[in-house]
Chains A and B, each alone.
Chain A
Amino acid sequence: MTTALHAEQVWFSYPRHEPVLRNVSLSIPAGKHTVIMGPSGTGKTTLLRVMAGILTPSRGEIAVFGQPLIGRSRRELSSLSGYIPQQLGLVRNQSALDNVLMGALGRLGDAKTLLAIFPRAEIDAAHAALAMMGIDHKSNNQVFQLSGGERQRVAIARTLLQRPRIVIADEFASDLDLTLAYEILGRIRAAAETENITFIMSMHRLGLARKFGEEVLAMKDGAIGKGYIGSEYLETEPAEATA
């Protein structure tokens, strides 16, 4: 089986702080959506940012489909991995369509895009991505007019247009109610299959993790243990554990 992302003995610490990631090694198989769980403050966000190439690890190696991340430019990385931060990182007073089109910036030159002129093919692809997430009817709405769930759909559509091989999303769908979260995650799985993308998400709700993850990694104190799910989740969210 191909490995989508491989991390080898990754350490990370912010300047003048204790290490946040301690010797993390993991392999994420291609096509298997992976959920990383763990208590807050355990280093999930840092791990995701390191895996997305936003932070450079203090030590260790990371490769996406065999291509090492370290030393690559953002533009080169953009065809390998997409990143959705916890607050989604959408530009609030631009339309949903404009936000999705930003996914194509990595393969377009400055000259045309600065006048906000996008090739017809990209605009069609952006509408298609929005449609895949069930939100194309609101493509002209400004993001600040959209609900939380609608914004999540737009953020996914943006990474779909980027066409990376993996997408890393931080605490995705975690503030949505369960029914809505299931619907959106279902659409993501369908889109991921068509577009051949592997999703890596951090989550703290067991119900969502079970619904979406084909692999679940558990994190504790900056280290990872495969398949381990702490009992605190079962205690804090009993209703979802059976969902």
Chain B
Amino acid sequence: MPKFFLPLTVGLFLLATLAHLGLFDGERLARGFRNLRILGGEMVPPDMSILPTAGAALWETVEMSFAGTLLGFIASLPLSVLGTRRLFSDWLSSFARFIAAGIRTIPVLLWAIVFVILVGLGPLAGTFGIAAYTVGYLAKIYADLFEGADPEIIEAVQSTGASKLQLVRFVIIPETANAILAQVLFMLEYNIRASSVLGFVGAGGLGLVIQIYLQNLDYRRLATVLLLVLVIVLMMDGISAWLRKRFLLSTQGS
């Protein structure tokens, strides 16, 4: 098979899909760009008078993301250990992976609705919603990660008579610590962005504010909110870059 066969196929498939989705509809594109200019024009200058309101809502979002990510992270560890095929029978690990996949199937917004029903309106519902989605995502990533841990090290420590729990504690987690941390940080970033829409369903945070400004076509205020989210996401980038440098680089090397 020629070398370029696969990239060519993928490229053609992408073009076909985009055409089907209407990307090459010239008139629609022109209309879109006109609207974008109007929308852009209506967003400047951002209305800074709402900073106190938006700031409080933003803080709630950040709190929800931190608590939700941490809860989800803690809950994902046992599930991912059970999902590690090297440690447990195929039956048990498939079952654990099935649960994780089931949790993951439900988008975070739906989880938020479920928890609004369970615990009522407000940020607690949002926190649980984020935690639930985080469990589904991290349990899968971690189970795959744990399975990839160097089999030689596992064998060597297994031959000291270590139990499965001891293997997890002394080999698998230390060996994959870098990736564990990197994934939590990624999840935290993701959750901060995701949780800014949870307010749409009454699960607290910035979402309610965004929804109101959107409905009122109040784009100058919306712009302020989006800028705030940008600032927070950039801050998170900075924090995770610092954490990575602090904890990850020090363990580089063979």
Contacts and interface: CB of A to CB of B under 8 A. Distances in A.
Given A83-B159, A88-B156, A89-B150, 15 more contacts: A78-B160, A81-B159, A85-B155, A85-B156, A89-B155, A89-B156, A89-B157, A91-B170, A94-B174, A102-B157, A105-B163, A105-B170, A106-B160, A110-B166, A155-B156
Interface hub of A94, A98, A104, A107 (most chain B Cβ within 10 A):
A94
A79 B161 contact: yes
B147 interface: no
Given A89-B153, A92-B175, A142-B251, A113 B169 contact: yes
A79 B160 CA distance: 8
7 contacts: A76-B161, A78-B161, A79-B161, A83-B156, A87-B152, A105-B161, A144-B254
B152 to A, nearest CB: 4
A82 B159 contact: yes
Contacts of B165: 110, 114
A106 B166 CA distance: 9
A101 to B, nearest CB: 9
Contact of B161 (A54, A106, A114): A106
B253 interface: yes
B159 A74 contact: yes
Given A83-B155, A85-B152, A89-B157, A113 B177 contact: no
Given A78-B161, A110-B165, A144-B254, A84 B170 contact: no
A42 to B, nearest CB: 20
Interface string B98-127: 000000000000000000000000000000
A36 B74 CA distance: 47
A57 B159 CA distance: 17
Interface residues of B, number: 26
Contacts, number: 99
A142 B177 CA distance: 14
Given A91-B171, A92-B251, A144-B251, A78 B166 contact: no
A162 interface: yes
A93 B251 contact: yes
B153 A90 contact: yes
Interface of B: 150, 152-163, 165-166, 169-171, 174-175, 177-178, 251-254
A85 B211 CA distance: 60
Interface in A106-139: 106-107, 110, 113-114, 116
A89 B152 contact: yes
A71 to B, nearest CB: 16
Contacts of B155: 54, 83, 85, 89
A93 B162 contact: no
A87 B151 CA distance: 11
A162 B160 contact: yes
Contacts of A54: 155, 158-159
A75 interface: yes
A102 B160 contact: yes
Contact of B174 (A91, A104, A106, A110): A91
A145 B250 CA distance: 10
A116 B174 CA distance: 12
Nearest to A106: B161
Contacts of A85: 152, 155-156
Given A93-B177, A94-B174, A142-B251, A75 B163 contact: yes
B166 A114 contact: yes
A33 interface: no
Nearest to B158: A74
A103 interface: yes
A52 interface: yes
A132 B50 CA distance: 70
Nearest to A115: B169
Contacts of B157: 89, 91, 102, 105
